[in-house]
Amino acid sequence: MENLTNINNLIDPDLKLKENQHTEEGEKFLNNPIVTVGPVTKQYLRSVKSYVTDGNRFVFSDGVSKVQISVISDEIIRVRMAPQGTFLADFSYAINGYPHKITLVKFAEDENIYKISTPKVNCIITKADFLISFTDSNNHMMNADAKAMHFEENVQFGGYYVYCSKVCTNTEDFYALGDKPTEFNLRGKRLVLWNTDTYAFAKNQDPLYRSIPFYIGLNEGKSYGIFFDNTFKTHFDFAVELKDRSSFWSDGGELNYYYIHGPEMMDVVKRYSQLTGTHQMPPMWALGFHQCRWSYYPDSKVKEIAQTFRDKKIPCDAIYLDIDYMNGYRCFTWNQRYFPEPKKLLGDLKDIGFKTVVIIDPGIKVDDNYWVFKEGKSNNYFCRRSDDYFMEGNVWPGRCQFPDFTNPKVRDWWGWLFKELLETGVDGIWNDMNEPAVFGSGTFPDDVRHNFDHHRGSHRKAHNVYGMQMVRATYEGLKKLQKNKRPFTITRAGYSGVQRYSSVWTGDNVATWEHLKLANIMCQRLSISGISFCGTDIGGFTGEPDGELFTRWIQLGVFTPLMRAHSAGDTREREPWSFGEPFEGICRKFIELRYKLMPYLYSAFWQHYKYQLPVVRPIVMLESHEHINHYREDEFSFGDNILVCPVLQPSIHNRKVYLPQGAWYDYWTNQKYSGGKEFVISTPLDSMPIFVKAGAVIPEMEVMQYTDEFELEELFLKTWFSVHPVKSVLYEDHGDTFAYQQDIFLEKTFNVFGSNGSLIIEQVMDGLYTPRYEKYRHIIYGLPFKVSKVLIDGKEQKKYSLDTRNVLEFSSSKKFKKIEILA
């Protein structure tokens, strides 16, 4: 065994807890690891008595409790605690199969500590007090227990409350945790994860619709992640109760967490996404503009809305039908009064380029004449309570029972129920009310029993995954029924890993400027929490926006991966033309921008699916070493190369913008800026600050009224000059099939190199897909020299144009390998 340094010498001085920082409870722990607080007995892990090894797994025991430490990859280490020495069955809805790489694992021991090492991470366990810490390969402390993991018996339900407390330095900040409607930096926040229907939620209201128990710690420019994979109600304290501690705990289940090493924030998010999965490539139409309302009915109203989009030439790909399309709110039925010929209606919508998305709720009306209820009842598919009566609650149809989506048989049954909707012409499914929400009681009683994929549990265990398993059933059913066609689903509730099955939106927001700002923050937070395909109800679900607020929300929505306008039925209609001019024209301009940028957005989704890169990236992810950036929350990167600075206040004519280090160009004016500082940028209502990274190649297409309106004849490649090498990606495939999983795709990498007298653009292609168009239209901005020659694959290009701003335009084959622009 190697000779190891005492753990106290590995901890940076400012990370150590001073003697006078121990709380009264902590002082008791130093002398006795069993602490009684009121009627509750809290049991701390004692000193390590023994250990066993099994490949990449190590189990340590204090004589009663056991802790299993597993090396998942060179950068991910899993920690589990069994209070009485017996681990629960190893099952997770969150974890996705991914071929993690383990290069080397070492185990060593001295008289004070055990040390498990990979080439990137050390996990250190102190013998005397069972503290667990993680250092990087240079022995720099990344994350450390403030006190031993502990638990207390849950006398009401059985099982244990489980706790973990970590050292928190005075420079450490925290991020992610899903859709919390609060400041982007979570330090100083105490938060709960328990899926909850929160109509017209307020800033700082907690909890909300989703439970994503993953956070990122950032300290002195280095990042790590903690994924607490526990589906019970969980709690997080980021230096609230004690300024030198962060903590997480749950009301049941197992203390089971993953330490995820950085050191960059992007590394942490990528590795979390490797654990829990990424979105599949969406159908391209799902990235277009979507129009929704509770509700559009009857069918004549739906056709009127759709035709108005086409008459006014405002691009739109999808229209949604809320609960009023159903017969008495019975799922999988049609209201014959409002929609007497649904197949004809959906066919007419398809003829003018509209996809139709319909809502489905989990509550199934108790009605023996209703075929869905009869099937569910006869097959025993509905949830039961502990006394074996069916769980019943009132939602939109009245008295309802609810499928147990944690039962694989129920998920399979549910998936096949969509057959008739698809045959009618439905294209996508909107999963709602699946927290699950129940009128009056809020949700299911705790004693409701769930199959949990044969691992059994009460609703306390299944609550946070109920919505995820509902949309999983939906997604898998659509995938089977639609054969090789990509499903589109959207869900309100979810748990970590829900991104494998669905897009999400931030729920029932309010038409206020405060909520516009929250929408921006929440989408950034969801994106770095592994859920890139997210959006908000543009304009606010409830309340009344004016034209300015709605227009600014449309501008932000262009750069949220899901772009959907949605409003409640008791508000005024809220389409892009609802506020008249000049707002209608500005909304059209920005929705057209969304469609121009479709190839860029689609490529960003490929980078998410293939390389685990979030589509939306906050400033702190781009530059975490600058502490002031830890609190920037307005601006974000959209994909690799576009910086977005939304306008989030009324009646302002300019705003302060921070540009990260490097050169940037104003998207509208092509003015060049040197980053690393703030600028004041003009913000008239018809504009929003958008910047492009120097050296970027941004693919754009001709504006369409819907994404497959016509075949492209050429693709625009816009390039902004840079003296530093920059790589850009363009991804192409069929747009609606799974052929990309069999290499029927085309990934193009553009490498740009500039100097005072030249600009070189190289294209490298990988994949088997062949796009229909034959040529690129190149537009080059920011050239610092007068062009004398353009060479394409060594041959001089005679046809090119230069305008008075020295903007260069020319065409090339889509298969070019090298372009040289010379002074």
Q: Which amino acid is at 31?
A: N
Query: In this structure, are strands 616-618 and 663-666 parallel, antiparallel, or unpaired?
Result: unpaired
* Two tokens, residue 332: 């999988």
pLDDT at 24: 37
Domains and CATH numbers, the chain: 17-262 (2.60.40.1760), 289-361+409-611 (3.20.20.80), 617-640+653-689 (2.60.40.1180), 711-822 (2.60.40.1180)
> How many Cα neighbours within 13 Å face the side chain of 326?
19
Q: Which amino acid is at 807?
A: V
> What is the Cα 584 distance to its own chain's centre?
30
pLDDT at 38: 46
pLDDT at 40: 57
pLDDT along the chain (823 residues), means of 10: 38 32 36 47 94 96 98 98 96 96 96 98 98 97 98 90 97 97 98 98 98 97 98 98 97 97 98 98 98 97 98 98 98 98 98 98 98 98 96 98 98 98 98 98 97 97 98 98 96 98 98 98 98 98 98 98 97 96 98 98 98 98 95 98 98 97 98 97 98 98 98 97 97 97 97 96 97 97 96 96 94 98 97
747 in Cβ contact with 721 (< 8 Å):
no
Q: What is the DSSP string of 498-547?
A: GGGT-EEE--S-BSSHHHHHHHHHHHHHHHHTT--SEE-EET-SBS---H
Q: Which amino acid is at 706?
A: Y
350 in Cβ contact with 426 (< 8 Å):
no
* Two tokens, residue 298: 């009857």
3-class DSSP string for 452-510? CCCCCEEHHHHHHHHHHHHHHHHHHHHHHHCCCECCCEEECCEECCHHHCCEEECCCCE
For residue 795, CA distances in Å to 755, 763, 801, 812, 817 come to: 21, 16, 17, 11, 12
pLDDT at 41: 74
Which sequence positions are flagged as catalytic?
Answer: 432, 435, 508
pLDDT at 635: 98
Q: Where are the beta strands (DSSP E) in 624-696?
A: 636-638, 642-644, 654-659, 663-666, 672-674, 677-682, 690-693
Nearest to 343 by CA among 426, 419, 424, 423: 424
Helix orientation angle between 583-596 and 598-611, rounded to the nearest 10 degrees: 50
Q: Which amino acid is at 358?
A: V
Looking up tokens 């800033």, which residue turns up? Answer: 203
Name residues whose C-beta falls within 8 Å of residue 226's C-beta, 6 or more positions apart in sequence: 143, 166, 214, 215, 217, 248, 257, 258, 259, 260
Whole-structure pTM value: 0.94
> What is the Cα 642 distance to its own chain's centre?
19
* Two tokens, residue 513: 């400027």
